[in-house]
Amino acid sequence: MSREERFLKPREVAELLRVHRVTVTEWIRAGRIKAIRVGRLWRIPESEVRRLLEQGVRGG
């Protein structure tokens, strides 16, 4: 993560990937997506979304 990294909400990531927000949250909890927690809220680095798009996400 760079110092100027942009962080996205699970809802924003879900819209980009065309999946449900709950799916993104499940991926975070399962360790498939790196994210940080700010209080009760999850934030996903934009670089992590790029990684997902490059590698693909497997269901399951």
Chain segment 4-60, per-residue pLDDT in tens:
889 999 999 999 999 999 999 999 999 999 999 999 999 999 999 999 888 875 554
Reduced to 3 states (helix: H, G, I; strand: E, B; else coil), residue 19 is: coil
pLDDT at residue number 60: 44
pLDDT at residue number 57: 57
pLDDT at residue number 55: 84
pLDDT at residue number 1: 57
pLDDT at residue number 53: 87
> CA-CA distance, 44 to 56, in Å (whole number)?
16
